Amino acid sequence: DTQAMMCAITVGTVGTELSTGEKIMTRMGGMTAKGGAHKRKDMAAMLTEGSVPQATWPDWLLVGMEKMRIAPSAVNKQPWAFTVARDGDRWVISILETPGGYAIGTLKFAALDTGIAASHLALALHARHPDVSVEETDGHAVWTLSVTD
């Protein structure tokens, strides 16, 4: 049983002011108990136990990880976590889908959202390190990116 989904993503930044239509869609898409859209997670909330401490990351990795952190996801659920590890002179970042992603009936968006986040990270890292390699593990929503220091 496989599921294919066509999608297009926008890469870039937008202004901070929302149009009236954007404000309405934000309210309709992700209501919280206080009536607003979900807030983005803090970097520490996405980092798995046993990862290399964030304080030791080089600047280029911090920039790339921030691009992943702010990547779009359905209703800002951000259904991913990541591990940052060292393997000799290589930085290895593994991104995995976590429970709790947005769904409409049987259509679940967590794998798509995780792929978008991984793509944002890969693009940001590739801009500074052309030797970024990407592997998909287990064929489903587990990405591993490696960069030589």
pLDDT in tens, 8-64: 655 555 566 777 776 766 665 554 444 445 678 889 999 999 999 999 999 989 999
Distance CA 54, CA 7 (A): 32
Please give the pLDDT value at position 33. 40
Backbone angles phi, psi at 123, to 5 degrees: -65, -45
pTM over 0.75: no
Q: How far is CA 69 from CA 40, 43, 82, in A?
A: 8, 7, 10
Distance CA 136, CA 122 (A): 12
Q: Which residues contact 67 (CB under 8 A, 6 or more apart)?
A: 120, 121, 123, 124
Asked whether 105 and 91 are in contact (CB, 8 A), the reply is: no
Q: Could you give the percent of the chain with pLDDT greater than 70?
A: 73
